[in-house]
Amino acid sequence: MRRIKTAIIGCGKIGHTHALALSTLEESELVAVCDNQLSRAQAFAAQYGGARAFDSVAGMLSNLEVEAVTICTPHPLHEEPCVQAAQAGAHVLIEKPMASSLEACDRMLEAAHQHGVKLGIVSQRRLFEPVQRMKAAIDAGKIGTPILGTFSMFSWRDQAYYESDPWRGKWATEGGGVLVNQSPHQLDMLQWLMGEIDEVSGYWANLNHPYIEVEDTAVAMIRFKSGGLGNVVTSLSQKPGIYTKVHIHGSNGASVGVQTDTGATFVAGMSGITLPPLNDVWTILGEEQLLAEFEAADRQSFQYIDATTYYHKLQIQDFLQSIIDDRPPLVTGEEGRIVVEMFTAIYRSNELRRPVRFPL
């Protein structure tokens, strides 16, 4: 099997998840890691098989043949290393969200297109078995046309979380709050399952986190181009966290849904996924009894995986295989941009106090 020469940019918490995949996948030869703190990059490299350590992306790309990079820096810092890697001819997989602004997304996409490299975005919750079932059922027409989609997150982040990294909780360095950092996976799922967006109306607020600048809660209404409707309620204000769910309701009256997270959503490097994602709604005619079977199967398989890293590894493997097969990755840069457009529209709607049409 061909092995892709890979590198990691950003040796923080989520970088370790990527390193566990890239140091063990048959498709990968992890040759380099890069961080603005050389000592951290060196310790990181030693932990994962002795890849070379760098404190400069340009230096890494000029000194080594790197075919693909994964970018694990804070999201406002995704743009520059992405463009540098693309200009060097390296394919790029970026942690969510793609960026904190549409302008950054567009520059990244332009660089990838100009230099003929693949650009993918991590959205590993698409690979949860309950989510895959929903997608297959919708694509097979089992719920008719998707007409109503809902995303609800009632989670929690404490002061220690925001103090764990100096960039968290500030507009200038995080780019936003719950919409930008904790919601991209489910925003991605909602648009993936419902289709193209026509209009968004939304509000945000900081309800009980006075020690941060950004929002801890947001609500939105969505009109899809299909005529379907959607709503978003996402919050970090429920201690210690309740659940995160995405439900899709169809024109024939059938509904499918998933509870992707129970309690507070996990934090890379600080907590783990301790309970399995499960289908919590399944009313397709003739398949109602499958809900209990799905739950039993998912609880059983959950015992044999580390869900904190397993689905990341699957998506990273897909990205490497997309290079080998010369096909689009599971989640493209264009799809990653849609999520940024969604939360940008909610911020803009709140500011203007009116609905915002797509494209922005």
CA distance readout (Å), 266 to 207, 254, 309: 21, 31, 11
Residues in the chain: 360
Q: What is the pLDDT of residue 107?
A: 98
| Banded pLDDT at 62 (limits 50, 70, 90) | very high
| Banded pLDDT at 70 (limits 50, 70, 90) | very high
Helices 184-194 & 129-139, crossing angle to 10 degrees? 20
pLDDT at 242 > cutoff 70:
yes
Sheet holding 28-34, edge to edge: 52-54, 28-34, 4-9, 68-71, 91-94, 119-121
Question: Nearest to residue 280, comparing CAs of 291, 293, 265?
Answer: 291
What percentage of the chain carries pLDDT values higher than 90? 95
208-222, 254-268, 272-286: range with lowest mean pLDDT:
254-268
pLDDT at 170 > cutoff 90:
yes
pLDDT at 79 > cutoff 70:
yes
Domains of the chain (ranges; CATH) run 4-121 (3.40.50.720), 126-304+338-352 (3.30.360.10)
**342-355: pLDDT as tens digits:** 999 999 999 999 99
Q: Which two tokens stand for residue 41?
A: 């990059």
Burial of 172 (0-12, 13-18, 19+ CB in 10 A): exposed
pLDDT at 50 > cutoff 90:
no
Over residues 99-116, mean pLDDT: 97
Q: What is the pLDDT of residue 268?
A: 72
Per the prediction, the chain carries an average pLDDT of 96
Q: Tell me the one-letter amino acid at 167.
A: W
Over residues 301-306, mean pLDDT: 95
| Banded pLDDT at 266 (limits 50, 70, 90) | confident
Q: What is the pLDDT of residue 269?
A: 65
Over residues 189-216, mean pLDDT: 98
**CA dihedral sign of residues 42, 44, 46, 48:** negative
pLDDT at 261 > cutoff 90:
yes
32-36, 170-174, 214-218, 330-334: range with lowest mean pLDDT:
170-174
CA distance readout (Å), 2 to 146, 312, 325, 341: 40, 21, 11, 36
Q: What pairs with residue 53 in β-bridges?
A: 33
Q: What is the pLDDT of residue 255?
A: 98
Distance of CA 154 to the CA centre of its chain: 18
Q: What is the pLDDT of residue 9?
A: 98
Residue 262, number of CB atoms within 10 A of its CB: 17
